[in-house]
Chains A and B, each alone.
Chain A
């Protein structure tokens, strides 16, 4: 770590790294009520059945993601697939067709109901520091609705600080498919070996960073929630954005000092 060089590009996961979210499970009732109202009384579904289907569908989607994480190039689920197959497979045909046609809109509403997001401490400063030193920046994230993250970037002022944003529902591929990171690096004209990639979990992020050949793969996760036996190992483990800010600052300062020394010696 003493020789850690600053990156040419800093690539960040979204949830758990750039943004912090507060879950609101209590909102799922109201969301189910809206979906139920949409399907109408003739659907034969009651509100409890709609809520149960949404809950089961979300659980199955998580299980599907956890299964595919073992494969070399997992794909992302489609919005219609989530609603028609994971949530509403056994609904009456009209209700199933309706949520299929409105799937993109419903996915947006589902994500908005699930949690509220804010920029994680230290991250705005990290992005600004990167920008100041000409380090390019990007987001590489698994998402159901990446468009909502783009909206958040406008709302929280990170948009002008992010040079590229790669979201799985838009590309159709999920991390740990290394193409997710490679696409971001390519868009920034940087080799993955010259990137830092920061993610908050082992099986998506660390695996993805290693597969993509990222220069430094960083796991950002509270100390108590790390798995010491997980493989592959990250190059660096950090607790939060403040530690990332310190790490970047240190790398940039050392680099600047070394440059200055080198220039002095050659002079």
Chain B
């Protein structure tokens, strides 16, 4: 794999790299309770909280399977908010409830994202961003998301939005990793090309594959919860594996200076 060259831009996945995530097992019950109240106020009384909760879990499970399948095509598109609710969750709901979630698909996806996981900035992230500033390496976020608005809110709440030059979320740009367009969009926005970027993600079938497909200058795997729970083996291998943001910083500091332009 040889010596890595310092990039123009460092592109980071959000979940698993910028933040560590833990699942909140109560999300479906909480969201079902909220949704039940809203549907009742709108005059739809056919669905119980349990019914909604079951369909939320089933829809979410089906979405996970769909996402795993979508790591095979060359250029997968992202799920839309409306499709998630109308087809994956509520296909067999009464017409009124179906119409209500159609109209409210955006805020419902946002709420689902808030409730489903807890997030905490990974230790060492701040030092990593400092090192990037010192080296003149621009930082961007490239992340799959059902609701990128949740990630944007986290970034803003933790002062991280000011430290990155661009945030690319799959639901906003309508394509998802491993579609290499995700990395190309970020590279273009930062005035470089994929070869001038390192791409860092926490799993093989989305991230490492995406970095390889895009022709990133280096594709780095950062280990996180679930990194090795692969749905299937993909042939793409990373240029480097790091355990955490500190190791990534070490890798960056040790990389050869780019050739003078």
**A contact residues vs B (CB 8 Å cutoff):** 40, 42-43, 79-80, 93-94, 97-98, 100-105, 136, 146-147, 150, 163-167, 170-172, 183-184, 186-190
Q: Are B105 and A186 in touch, CB under 8 angstroms?
A: no
Q: Which 4 A-B pairs have the closest CB atoms?
A: A97-B188, A186-B99, A94-B191, A98-B189
Interface SS majority for chain B: helix
How distant is the Cα of A189 from the Cα of B110 in the complex, in angstroms? Answer: 25
- Whether A170 touches B42, Cβ cut-off 8 Å, given contacts A94-B191, A101-B168, A101-B185, is no
B84 to chain A, nearest CB (A): 13
Partner of A42, one of B95, B99, B105, B191: B191
Q: Are A101 and B99 in touch, CB under 8 angstroms?
A: no
Q: Are B185 and A146 in touch, CB under 8 angstroms?
A: no
A42 proximity list for chain B (CB < 8 A): 191
A189 proximity list for chain B (CB < 8 A): 42-44, 96
Q: Are A146 and B106 in touch, CB under 8 angstroms?
A: yes
- Whether A164 touches B188, Cβ cut-off 8 Å, given contacts A101-B166, A102-B167, is no
* Max count, chain A CB within 10 A of own CB: residue among B165, B168, B185, B191: B191
Additional A-B contact list (17), CB under 8 Å, known A170-B82, A189-B42: A40-B191, A80-B172, A94-B189, A101-B168, A101-B173, A101-B189, A147-B107, A163-B43, A165-B104, A170-B81, A172-B82, A183-B103, A187-B44, A187-B96, A187-B100, A189-B43, A189-B96
A147 proximity list for chain B (CB < 8 A): 106-107, 110, 149
From B94, which residue of chain A is reached at the shortest CB distance?
A189
B138 to chain A, nearest CB (A): 9
B192 to chain A, nearest CB (A): 8
B166 proximity list for chain A (CB < 8 A): 98, 101-102
Q: Does B121 contact A (CB under 8 A)?
A: no
Q: Are A186 and B82 in touch, CB under 8 angstroms?
A: no
Q: Are A186 and B41 in touch, CB under 8 angstroms?
A: no
Q: Are B103 and A187 in touch, CB under 8 angstroms?
A: yes
B96 proximity list for chain A (CB < 8 A): 186-189
A188 proximity list for chain B (CB < 8 A): 42-43, 96
Q: Are A163 and B107 in touch, CB under 8 angstroms?
A: no
Q: Are A164 and B189 in touch, CB under 8 angstroms?
A: no
In the complex, which residues 41-70 of chain B have their Cβ closer than 8 Å to any Cβ of chain A?
Answer: 41-44
A-B contacts, 30 listed (Cβ < 8 Å): A94-B190, A97-B189, A98-B166, A98-B189, A98-B190, A100-B173, A100-B185, A101-B172, A101-B189, A102-B167, A104-B148, A136-B42, A136-B43, A147-B106, A147-B107, A150-B107, A164-B42, A167-B103, A170-B82, A170-B103, A172-B82, A183-B102, A183-B103, A186-B98, A187-B44, A187-B103, A188-B42, A189-B44, A189-B96, A190-B43
Interface residues on B, range: 20 to 34
B190 proximity list for chain A (CB < 8 A): 94, 98
In the complex, which residues 25-48 of chain B have their Cβ closer than 8 Å to any Cβ of chain A?
Answer: 41-44
B167 proximity list for chain A (CB < 8 A): 101-102, 105
A165 proximity list for chain B (CB < 8 A): 103-104
How distant is the Cα of A102 from the Cα of B168 in the complex, in angstroms? Answer: 7
B100 proximity list for chain A (CB < 8 A): 164, 187
From A166, which residue of chain B is reached at the shortest CB distance?
B103
B141 to chain A, nearest CB (A): 10
* Max count, chain A CB within 10 A of own CB: residue among B44, B95, B104: B104
Q: Does B216 contact A (CB under 8 A)?
A: no
How distant is the Cα of A184 from the Cα of B82 in the complex, in angstroms? Answer: 15
Q: Are B149 and A100 in touch, CB under 8 angstroms?
A: no
How distant is the Cα of A195 from the Cα of B96 in the complex, in angstroms? Answer: 15
Partner of A183, one of B41, B99, B188: B99
A43 proximity list for chain B (CB < 8 A): 191
- Whether A171 touches B43, Cβ cut-off 8 Å, given contacts A94-B189, A103-B172, A186-B95, is no
Q: Does B152 contact A (CB under 8 A)?
A: yes
A186 proximity list for chain B (CB < 8 A): 95-96, 98-99
From B96, which residue of chain A is reached at the shortest CB distance?
A189
A197 to chain B, nearest CB (A): 15
Q: Are A97 and B185 in touch, CB under 8 angstroms?
A: yes
